């Protein structure tokens, strides 16, 4: 019987356990995928901990993987058995040898891209696509701030920004992470352990500040992010790595320059097959052409049954690039 990872209560990584299960037949608009590589994302820790609780417990975990279609629902026409595919908007349960996914949430994975590359970049790549191309369309030579630039999403953003001809200022937590972000395409970096973020942005922009800040850190960087924005600038808060932003006094947006704030997610931007194809085609072309080079360190590839170890490493902040589970 196939194996998947489940948790029956919220908590730390140790609540995750491998269990055998019987996959149900795919519904008429679903496909069943034999996963070959599974993406691990920080949002998975939010689901496990209860910050983003699942509909019920026990629950599976994960929403991203790449693999081969082994069964097709009777109403599916654009995908067939044997297709190489990747997905990032599946129901919870992608930490599994086999998973059923809505066919419209599955993209055909080009032959030039490996399963590991697909699973390591799809959710993060779609995220960078909607952030830099849709939430605020970054223009050539534009200077902007992106927090956690050496993380999985951040490194893709550095590469994508360089491809767009834009100047990404990335915040990082160490000199080593600064090197990684710069090598990936960041224009400048700010080490938040040693430097004042807002003061550095002011200096790097000759006092003009930036039109947009992308912030996945949350609580710890909220005030600094607002202080980096130009008048009527846009604060894009898309994650809570340090905890959620709560108790916001809207008056602060007025005081700091009639600012805008948005709290986007992938599900607000990729809502149908056409939007998925637009985003995935751009992402895949950048990967296939070598503009985006997924980083998957060997020590961040884990057997599926070692999900606990994977989550402990992820939450230690010692990872770089992407992490994978391999069934």
Domain hosting 8: range is: 3-122+270-326
* Pair 34, 97: CB distance under 8 Å: yes
Q: What is the pLDDT of residues 52-106, one digit of tens each?
A: 899 999 999 999 999 999 999 999 999 999 999 999 999 999 999 999 999 999 9
- At residue 295, the pLDDT reads 85
Q: What is the pLDDT of residue 217?
A: 86
- What does 107-142 look like in DSSP terms, one character per residue? EEPPTTS-HHHHHHHHHHHHHHHIIIIIIS---TT-
Q: Classify residue 75: in a domain, yes or no.
A: yes
**Tokens read off for 173:** 């937590």
Specify the pLDDT at position 243. 75
List the structure tokens of 220.
């710890």
43: exposed, middle or buried (Cβ count in 10 Å: 0-12, 13-18, 19+): buried
pLDDT number for residue 54: 95
Whether 242 has a pLDDT exceeding 90, the answer reads no
Segment among 76-90, 106-120, 181-195, 239-253 with least mean pLDDT: 239-253
CA dihedral 219, 223, 225, 227 (to 10 degrees): 180
Residue 133 lies in a domain: no
Residues 275 and 257 in one domain: no
Question: Tens digit of pLDDT for each residue in 20-39?
Answer: 999 999 999 999 999 999 99
Instruction: Tell me the β-bridge partners of 38.
Output: 65, 325
User: How many domains does one find in the chain?
Assistant: 2
With a CB cutoff of 8 Å and minimum separation 6, the contacts of 64 are 38, 39, 41, 86, 87, 88, 90, 94, 119, 122, 123
Question: What does the pLDDT average to over 295-313?
Answer: 95
CATH number of the structural domain spanning residue 235? 3.40.50.720
> Residue 241: pLDDT band by 50, 70, 90 thresholds?
confident
Residue 128 lies in a domain: no
The interaxial angle of helices 115-129 and 152-164, nearest 10 deg, is 70
Residue 271 has pLDDT above 90, yes or no: yes
Last residue of a domain, one of 244, 264, 284: 264
Give the per-residue pLDDT at 244: 75
101 lies in the same domain as 54: yes
Answer yes or no: do 16 and 97 share one domain.
yes
pLDDT digits (tens, 9 = 90+) for 124-177: 999 999 999 999 999 999 999 999 999 889 999 999 999 999 999 999 999 999
CATH of the domain at 82: 3.90.180.10
Residues 255 and 280 both lie in one domain: no
Residue 227 CB-density burial (10 A; 0-12 exposed, 13-18 middle, 19+ buried): middle
């Amino acid at each position: 019987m196939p194996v998947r990872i489940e948790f029956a209560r919220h908590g730390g990584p140790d609540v995750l356990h491998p269990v055998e299960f019987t996959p149900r037949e795919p519904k008429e608009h679903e496909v069943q995928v034999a996963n070959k590589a599974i993406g691990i994302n920080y949002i998975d820790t939010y689901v496990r901990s209860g910050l983003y609780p699942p509909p019920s417990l026990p629950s599976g975990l994960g929403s991203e993987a790449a693999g081969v279609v082994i069964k097709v629902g009777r109403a599916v026409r654009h995908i067939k058995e044997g297709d190489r595919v990747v997905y990032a908007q599946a129901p919870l349960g992608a930490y599994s040898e086999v998973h059923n996914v809505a066919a419209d949430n599955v993209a055909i994975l080009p032959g030039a891209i490996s399963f590991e590359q697909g699973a390591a970049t799809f959710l993060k790549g779609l995220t960078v696509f909607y952030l830099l191309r849709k939430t605020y369309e970054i223009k050539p030579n534009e200077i902007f701030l992106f927090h956690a630039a050496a993380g999985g999403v951040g490194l893709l953003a550095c590469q994508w920004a360089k491809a767009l001809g834009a100047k990404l200022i990335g915040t990082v937590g160490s000199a080593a992470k600064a090197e990684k972000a710069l090598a990936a395409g960041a224009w400048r970096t700010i080490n938040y352990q040693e430097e004042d973020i807002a003061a550095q942005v002011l200096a790097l922009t000759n006092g003009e500040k930036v039109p947009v800040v992308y912030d996945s850190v949350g609580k710890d960087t909220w005030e600094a992010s607002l202080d980096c924005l130009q008048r009527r600038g846009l604060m894009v808060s898309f994650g809570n790595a340090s905890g959620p932003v709560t108790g916001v006094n809207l008056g602060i947006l007025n005081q700091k320059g009639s600012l805008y704030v948005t709290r986007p997610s992938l599900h607000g931007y990729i809502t149908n097959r056409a939007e998925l194809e637009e985003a995935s085609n751009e992402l895949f072309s950048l990967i296939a052409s070598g503009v985006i080079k997924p980083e998957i360190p060997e020590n961040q590839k884990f057997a599926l049954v070692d999900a606990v170890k994977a989550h402990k490493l992820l939450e230690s902040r010692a990872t770089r690039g992407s992490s994978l589970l391999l069934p």
